[in-house]
């Protein structure tokens, strides 16, 4: 004959039988890195005061990717860092496989950290029968097991809505503006957007640089030919000013160099180019070397090969920004507070 469970007493009052087990859980932050940009991941881990989780990753003879973690990840708060640089499809696939491995190894929460979001420029249909590849990338990461994304300066803000979960959209703006303010703060400046679509970003730049004048380049882009634009006229007053030409990325450099030439033709005293992502696909380096710009300022969201470096180029570290965002997410803090409520 089974006995009924004894009632549990709290302050001498019967509250019924107790079932289950209660335990105060400890959070365990673990940082993982793919092979695309290990230097950035190591810098982020150093800022966080931790190390990268040892990982085995290699290709089979037929180029299939294999990933295995050398430590237990059960119950951890995982942050998987991978920049989608060239060859972009290979590194996105490795990133997806890393997320899948964490899910199957019982990680508690998986945050995908992608300083550069691959396929971000394919965020809408320009013509019929085109894909929206940026949405597909978001869906792939959700299916693989990602709970959250952390990205830096997305090409289009609406990409945040493509992922079915929280997206923390970081901005390199504070890092870039601090550098420009320190070096060119005494000059007569103007902030210039390379097209009308990025004028909001230019407005934030202007506010951080003390309300300097704004201008933009009126341009047309060919939807049937990639990386081709024609810079037209400058809209705004730039004569006699050092123009800070701001964009989210530099790929082949055609757009940004034509804009710099248009500004000089309109009477600008000089041009400084500032962009977050330095893709620098060929022939970007030659174009930028021979452009009227006196300096090209970028961040290290993407790795730079030795042949992509040149005298005019200044590369600023994004590691402190990423580590702060990771810390805020891990501690259930506020990422928005990092950007004065604008993120």
What pLDDT digit, counting tens, does each position of 117-127 carry?
999 999 999 99
What pLDDT digit, counting tens, does each position of 53-62 carry?
999 999 999 9
Count of C-beta atoms within a 10 Å radius of residue 295: 18
Question: Helix crossing, 38-48 with 319-330: angle to 10°?
Answer: 50
Q: Please check the confidence at residue 128 and state whether its pLDDT lies above 90.
A: yes
Q: CA 152 to CA 170: how far, in whole Å? A: 5
By CB neighbour count within 10 A (0-12 exposed, 13-18 middle, 19+ buried), where does 282 fall?
exposed
Q: Please check the confidence at residue 74 and state whether its pLDDT lies above 90.
A: yes
Residue 205's closest CA among 239, 171, 232?
171
Sort strands 214-221 and 229-235 into parallel, antiparallel or unpaired: antiparallel
Are 147 and 156 in contact by the 8 Å Cβ rule? The answer is no
Q: CA 195 to CA 256: how far, in whole Å? A: 10
Domains of the chain with bracketed CATH: 29-172+321-339 (3.40.50.2020), 173-316 (3.40.50.2020)
Q: What is the mean pLDDT of residues 27-38?
A: 97
At 25, the pLDDT band (50, 70, 90 cuts) reads: confident
| Global pTM exceeds 0.85 | yes
Indicate which residues carry an active-site annotation. 219
Are 287 and 257 in contact by the 8 Å Cβ rule? The answer is yes
């Amino acid at each position: 004959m089974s006995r009924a469970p004894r009632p549990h007493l709290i302050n001498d009052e019967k509250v019924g039988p107790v079932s289950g087990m209660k335990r105060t859980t400890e959070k365990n932050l673990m940082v993982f890195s793919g092979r695309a940009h290990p230097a950035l991941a190591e810098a982020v881990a150093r800022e966080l005061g931790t190390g990268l989780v040892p990982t085995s990753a290699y290709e089979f003879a037929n180029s299939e990717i294999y990933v295995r973690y050398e430590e237990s990840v059960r119950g951890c708060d995982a942050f998987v860092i991978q920049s989608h640089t060239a060859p972009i499809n290979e590194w996105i696939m490795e990133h997806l496989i890393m997320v899948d491995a964490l899910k199957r190894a019982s990680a508690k929460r998986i945050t995908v950290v992608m300083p550069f979001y691959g396929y971000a420029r394919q965020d809408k249909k320009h013509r019929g029968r085109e894909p929206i590849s940026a949405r597909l990338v978001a869906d792939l990461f959700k299916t693989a097991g990602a709970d959250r994304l952390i990205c830096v300066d997305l090409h289009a803000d609406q990409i945040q809505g493509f992922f079915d979960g929280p997206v923390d959209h970081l901005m390199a703006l504070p890092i870039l503006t601090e550098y420009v303010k320190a070096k060119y703060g005494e000059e007569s400046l103007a902030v210039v957007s390379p097209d009308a679509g990025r004028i909001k970003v230019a407005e934030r730049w202007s506010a951080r640089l003390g309300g300097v004048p704004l201008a933009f380049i009126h341009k047309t882009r060919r939807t049937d030919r990639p990386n081709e634009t024609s810079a037209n006229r400058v809209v705004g007053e730039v004569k006699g000013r050092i123009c800070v030409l701001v964009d989210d990325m530099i790929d082949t450099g055609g757009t940004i160099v034509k804009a710099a030439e248009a500004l000089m033709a309109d009477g600008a005293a000089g041009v400084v180019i500032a962009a977050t992502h330095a893709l620098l696909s060929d022939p970007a380096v030659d174009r930028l070397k021979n452009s009227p710009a006196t300096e090209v300022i970028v961040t290290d969201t993407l790795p730079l090969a030795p042949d992509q470096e040149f005298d005019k180029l200044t590369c600023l570290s994004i590691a402190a920004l990423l580590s702060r965002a990771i810390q805020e997410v891990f501690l259930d803090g506020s990422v928005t507070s990092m950007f004065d409520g604008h993120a």
